[in-house]
Amino acid sequence: MRWHLHGVIIEGMTNDATLWQGWQRSFASLPAATAVPDIHISLNIVPNLSPAPPGEPQFRQGDLLAYYVQGQDVVVHFPRFGQLQLDLLGGATNGRLLAPALTTYGVLEDLIAISLSPHLRRRGLYLIHAFAAAYQGRAVLLVGGIGAGKTTTGLSLLNAGWHLLSNDSPIISQTGELLHYPGVLAAYPDSFAHFPATAEFAQQQPQQEGRQKLTIPAEQIWPQVWCEQAQIGAILFPTIKGEGEHESRPLAPIETLQQLLPHAIEQWDKPMMPNHLAVLRQLVEIAPAYQLLLGPDVLAIPAMIESLFTKE
C-alpha cells in the first residue's frame, strides 16, 4: 500500500494481517498513491527478537528503547517489542517486531511514527508530540504530558466544530505551518463521556484489565473532521487545576521553546538538530503561547481558546 503525505509517497509492507489492519486503520485519512515511493516502511512480525548491536547506544530512554547510530544506518532497539533498522540515505525502515507490539496499547502507532519521523525530517517535515486542531484557517497546538488534559481539550474543540490536524503527531513545515498527520483518537472513556457526539463510546471497555484508553477513528464520529493544513494561531500548554474557571497565562518565546523541546527534538539525530531547532524557533516567534489552567467545565474550553486569537 502507498499513501500520499504532503508531497511524500510512503510505501508500507508487512507479513501480518493484524498489523496491516491496524496500520490501515491508522492511515485511513491519507489518500492512496500510485507514484514511486520516497519512503519504504516494512514492519514484520517475527518469533524472536534480534540482539541489540554491540557497544553503548548513542541515546537511551530508560529500558524502553535505545538508538545505535552508525553514519546513515540506525538501529532502534525495543527490548520488549522488536527492532527497527533505519537506512537514512535510502529512505527505508525495516522493522522486526514481536507479537506484543500489536496487543500493547499505542505501541504500533508509536513504532510507525518512529519509523517515519527521521525520513520525514530529511524532507522538511517535522513531527511533534501534540494535539492539533484548526478553526477558520488557524490552528492551535496543544502540548503536554500524560494527564495534562490535552486530549480532553482537543476533543472539546472537535465537539465545537473545529477540524483535526492530528491527535498525536502533527507536522511542522519549514514555513511554520501545521500539517495533517494520520492516526486515531485515543482517550479514556471519561474523556469521551463529556461530549454528546462521543458519549456512547464511554460505555465501551477494552478487554485488558485496568483503566485503558479507547481508540476510535475521528471520521467515525465527525465524517468531515480532517484538515490538511493551517497557519499556526497559538501554542497552548494545558494543565488541569480542577476547580474554578479556565485561565490563560502568556508565555515568553524562550519559555515556549524550552517547553516544546522535549516533545519535538530526537536527541540521537544530531545532524538534523540545527534545522529542527530553526523550525521550532520560527514557530514560537510566529505564534503566541499560553499556559492553560483548566477548570471542570470542558464545554467552555473552545470559547476561551477562541478568545486568545483576538488578543494582541
Do residue 171 and residue 291 come from a single domain? yes
Distances (CA, A) of 145 to 73, 150, 246, 260: 30, 8, 19, 11
pLDDT tens string 38-84: 999 999 999 999 899 999 999 999 889 999 999 999 999 999 999 99
**181 and 301 co-located in one domain:** yes
Element (H, E) at 278: helix 273-286
- Tell whether the model's pLDDT for residue 311 goes beyond 80: no
**pLDDT score of 207 more than 60:** no
**pLDDT for the residue numbered 205:** 58
For residue 310, is pLDDT > 90?
A: no
- Average pLDDT for 283-306: 93
Specify whether 94 is located in the same domain as 238.
Answer: no
Q: Is the separation of the CB atoms in 215 and 207 below 8 Å?
A: no
Q: Is the pLDDT of residue 211 over 70?
A: no
CATH of the domain at 236: 3.40.50
**What's the pLDDT score for residue 202?**
75
pLDDT at 134: 96
CA distance 8 to 278: 22
pLDDT at 232: 94
pTM for this predicted structure: 0.93
pLDDT digits over 91-120, tens only? 999 999 999 999 888 899 999 999 999 999
- Interval 157-206: pLDDT, tens: 999 999 999 999 999 999 889 999 999 998 888 888 888 888 888 776 55
Which of 123, 157, 186 delimits the end of a domain? Answer: 123
Q: What confidence tier does 274 reach under pLDDT thresholds 50, 70, 90?
A: very high
Domain containing residue 195 = 131-308
Task: Determine contact, residues 217/273, Cβ cutoff 8 Å.
Answer: no
For residue 255, name the pLDDT band (cuts at 50, 70, 90).
very high
Number of domains, the chain = 2
Regarding whether 149 and 119 lie in a shared domain, the answer is no
